[in-house]
A and B are shown apart, each in its own frame.
Chain A
């Protein structure tokens, strides 16, 4: 084979193959299941509109929460201790957990 043929076969084909694979990988990562291209990463700002998932239409009292009076009682954190002295928990209170990452 001539020099040109050798170059084309042994350099060109791998280069084209690498470019094709890189292109496919890039296209897959930017349009993959990563939130439409804007994957959440800790530390990056989360600018999306708040989303509230409900399994069925629920009747909400007031989306802004202004239905609560100014003197609304603050529920206890875990039901076992009061947050601050003087604040009462509503009957029963709520439970759950908190955490941060």
Chain B
């Protein structure tokens, strides 16, 4: 599953069994966190876990531009091999989530990643970013 679409939580079908880094339970946690973040803020959150080409920041921003609505999207790009995390907020999204708060969320995420907990870090980061963004319009 390279570019994956996670079914929205309204579907009753279980997520496909991935031979990937996340177990089903972890996928469900991430899915739920993303759904809550999207619904409470009105922004679109997406998470990329995989290798990023050098320079890492530009590759993350390039992927962010591939989204349907980059201005209102937040991309969290995680590269476990390079051990780098990039949070990219679109033009509209960055007014809701200032860079300072993105930095704080990144700090808590890497604290979890450093302990080897990918899912926990992702869920924590989504939760922090969504609560900083506040209610959407």
**A interface vs B, CB < 8 Å?**
33-36, 38-42, 45-46, 48-63, 65, 68, 74-75, 77-80, 92-101
Contact = CB atoms under 8 A, between A and B. Distances in A.
Interface in B17-42: 18-23, 25-26, 30-31, 34-35, 38
Chain A binding surface SS class: loop
Interface in B71-96: 71, 74-75, 80-91, 93-94
A36 B23 contact: yes
Contact of B84 (A40, A62, A99): A99
B53 to A, nearest CB: 9
A55 B110 CA distance: 23
Chain B binding surface SS class: mixed
A60 B66 contact: yes
Contacts of A41: 116
22 contacts: A33-B26, A40-B80, A46-B50, A50-B50, A51-B2, A51-B21, A52-B4, A52-B46, A53-B47, A55-B8, A55-B44, A56-B5, A58-B46, A60-B67, A74-B58, A94-B61, A94-B94, A97-B87, A97-B103, A98-B56, A99-B110, A100-B82
Q: 5 closest A-B pairs (Cβ-Cβ)?
A: A50-B50, A95-B94, A92-B91, A46-B80, A97-B102
B3 interface: yes
B83 A100 contact: yes
Contacts of B106: 97-99
B114 interface: yes
Nearest to A36: B23
A94 B64 contact: yes
B26 to A, nearest CB: 6
B94 A79 contact: yes
A21 to B, nearest CB: 24
Contacts of A45: 81
Contact of A68 (B8, B62, B68, B85): B62
A39 B6 contact: no
B6 A42 contact: no
